[in-house]
Amino acid sequence: MLRDIDVAIIGAGPAGIAAGVGARRAGAENVVVFERDWDLGGILQQCIHPGFGLHTFKEELTGPEYVHRYLERAHEAGVTFVTNTMVFHMEEDGSFWTMNPERGIEHVRPKATVLAMGCRERPLGALGVPGSRPAGIYTAGTAQRFVNMEGYMPGKRVVVLGSGDIGLIMVRRMLLEGAKVEAVFELMSWPGGLRRNIAQCLDDYGVPLYLDHTVTKVHGKDRLEAVTVAQVDQYKSPIPGTERTIECDTLLLAVGLIPENELSRMAGVEIHPLTGGPKVNQFLQTSKPNVFAAGNVVVVYDLVDWVSAEGLRAGENAARYALGTLRSPGRTFQVEPGRGVRLLSPQVVGDQEDSMVFLRVSEPVERRCRIVTMPDVGSANLRYARPGEMNELKIKAEALRSLGDDVKAIQVHVEEVR
Ligand SMILES: Cc1cc2nc3c(=O)[nH]c(=O)nc-3n(C[C@H](O)[C@H](O)[C@H](O)COP(=O)(O)OP(=O)(O)OC[C@H]3O[C@@H](n4cnc5c(N)ncnc54)[C@H](O)[C@@H]3O)c2cc1C
């Protein structure tokens, strides 16, 4: 089974499952997905709240329901899944090493590989908050796994730092399980998560959100006893005199997600400094031609539907590469973030077919605005633009083909419509 693999996929979250389907549908014979967990589905296994699949299945599903539906497609397509198998090393040629309790260590040499390892949460250590490290401080995703999958309650009196979606979802979850949630504190001047999650998880339960605030100290030796919070100035430094101490036994952190790219780096794949994921072209092909990437390992997405769509395309293109039928991208252009754009992906597009670029804005624009390109190769109208939500832009191949030879890069800007 592990010999003569056409397309190998690392990670069986939504991106990896979809990549398997795409690779099989595009004609690859032997498509194998390697997953370190004992079950399939990635982070969606613990997301028992609804809100998944509105685009893909035209229904509002929970995370496990979404995975179940997609796995049906994968099994129909003939994708092979290998669980309990950690990919622990990648070689520069795209081959990799796996470890499995029964089969031991194996060297896998596929014709093409899709990276789909997802992302991980930023821990407290990365924030440098003073104080000891008592029990009771968790990333929101860890607490979510405890409550939804392991059947443990992390605590009874909770403060949340960061207003990313996982933190917002966990506010509601902890409340429904009987905990008291004191408040959510956010360093930025705007919320990090989706508006619908602010409304459904905070406003509906009367939990306050304090923008421009952070935790400046944790108290307690063995168990967390309290946190000190303070307002911050425009440089994000705590303002003296605004500190207050809140008693709590649990601090949940929703302070950002980091694409999981240790393997990508081992393989020598170029990592983009803004996304923290592999630099990819419109085929989701990395700087190593036989290595493709999809989902949160490339850039942190807000909706699983985009992740699955990207996984499908990465799998299809990896299959074409393995079969020797991947078309040339033609003349290629760098796509660069300009005014109002924090990050975007893919960062390279070709002039042979239209490309979809996903982007996040750097600041909220709460009025009609427009994504524009310089030179003009595509644009999109938006009712608003918020950092917590991904936006899409179609870059037209025909417009790229009309550009002079001196043009090497396309800049993407967001501007208000007056
Ligand atoms: C708490 C939370 C709430 C969310 N809510 C919503 C929502 O309401 N609606 C919505 O549409 N989206 C939501 N999302 C977003 C969506 O779930 C993610 O975008 C999506 O799961 C990302 O899929 P992925 O396959 O890229 O990564 P993941 O789901 O993280 O999967 C990565 C997989 O790779 C495996 N892996 C990693 N490294 C290795 C290795 N070395 N060897 C083998 N396997 C490996 C992991 O075990 C994991 O199974 C939410 C996300 C979170 C975290």
For residue range 319-343, what is the model confidence (pLDDT) as tens digits? 999 999 999 999 999 999 999 999 9
Chain segment 57-102, per-residue pLDDT in tens:
999 999 999 999 999 999 999 999 999 999 999 999 999 999 999 9
- Our answer on whether the CB atom of 14 is closer than 6 Å to any ligand 1 atom is yes
Q: Which class is 1-120+257-326 in CATH?
A: alpha beta
- Our answer on whether the CB atom of 87 is closer than 6 Å to any ligand 1 atom is yes
- Our answer on whether the CB atom of 291 is closer than 6 Å to any ligand 1 atom is no
- Our answer on whether the CB atom of 202 is closer than 6 Å to any ligand 1 atom is no
Angle between helices 304-323 and 63-77 (to 10 degrees): 20
Q: Give the pLDDT confidence score for residue 156 in this predicted structure.
A: 97
Distance 413 CA to ligand 1 centre (A): 29
Which residue of 46, 47, 49 sits with most ligand 1 atoms within 8 Å of its CB, as the best mutation to test the pocket?
47
| 224: amino acid identity, one letter | L
Q: Return phi, psi of residue 400, to 5°.
A: -65, -40
Identify the CATH homologous superfamily for domain 123-255.
FAD/NAD(P)-binding domain (3.50.50.60)
- Our answer on whether the CB atom of 66 is closer than 6 Å to any ligand 1 atom is no
Place of tokens 């407290």: 124
Distance 343 CA to ligand 1 centre (A): 20
Place of tokens 């014979």: 29
With beta carbons less than 8 A apart as the criterion, state whether 30 and 4 touch.
yes
Q: Mapping DSSP to helix (H, G, I), strand (E, B) and coil, where does residue 70 land?
A: helix
**Which one-letter DSSP state was computed for residue 120?**
E
Q: What is the greatest pairwise CA distance in the chain?
A: 66
- Our answer on whether the CB atom of 16 is closer than 6 Å to any ligand 1 atom is yes
Distance 2 CA to ligand 1 centre (A): 25
Chain segment 148-160, per-residue pLDDT in tens:
999 999 999 999 9
Place of tokens 């009987």: 178
- Our answer on whether the CB atom of 254 is closer than 6 Å to any ligand 1 atom is no
Which atom of ligand 1 is nearest the CA belonging to 303?
11
Q: Give the pLDDT confidence score for residue 17 in this predicted structure.
A: 98
**pLDDT band, very low/low/confident/very high, at 1 (cuts 50, 70, 90):** low
